[in-house]
Structure 1
């Protein structure tokens, strides 16, 4: 009995070892998968916390924020946005209206680098729209919010002022009809006295 039992025990031990190794491998795979999911969830939460709420600018308001809306000379809508600082990445604006969306090209203003102007399709005032700022580099969502356009500033007409001397009708200057300011004194000729000839008395002889 002892001779035949030894191979059976070895076989059982071998099978048990295989089972234990398999279970250990499955545990490791499960832990790695769970850790990966937890890490991905943490990254998603971190990304969500970095997204700013896009609203109208006010005193003490977090940036970026919307300053105003306007219309250019071609009828396109302008969206003026105040940014945090120069480190804010290049971006474009997306406005969602119902089931449609419009993309707006945004550029920093040279005279005010912390300000950007976005140009695109004109939207109706008073309607609540969804605004999204998206990074150009990797399409990362930077800020979003629901806003209604409260007013559109129209462009002011520029009046060109010429520096040339205006050509007008010259004022007539006459010399013949010039009337002196002081009256001219007229000198009348002194009348000449006419002497009556005296007839000579007749001579008497």
Structure 2
């Protein structure tokens, strides 16, 4: 009976190994194509344009290489799920399926945050260009607010409780407003003092 069970398992095991092997070969090919295509369209310069870093130099791992590696890993994860189903490992297959779902949500959340970070830098630059160096503090506050909002949206998409995310966002935004008020208060203290001194001097002058 044990021999019969083993003989029945061998073809299924072979099929599962074959699925993994085919997925690896196909994944390597698709990953190479993705890397070449992304390199050709200038994907390696994207992080520098978004303000997330500098362009990679010769010999460094490029964003296109990372994207190709992600494609290969995704192919192997899907193949692992199918292999688990073939072997009857339903719990493992369900676990892998949940991981795929979470990875998809995490990817979308990362895209949301990157877009928000780009818009924050764009807004900061636009405010500084329009109002000059005097707008430095306001531009920085606007950038922080947009980044925090993007982070809140990304965390909400991943599945964090909306109440926790919005409470954190409100606390950070409130702290930023308090910081701005304090900064303006400290900055205008000397100006207010001078105005009071002028007013006192005016009162001291004899009336003609």
* TM-score band w.r.t. shorter chain: under 0.3
TM value normalised by structure 1: 0.24
Q: Between Structure 1 and Structure 2, whose CA radius of gyration is higher?
A: 1
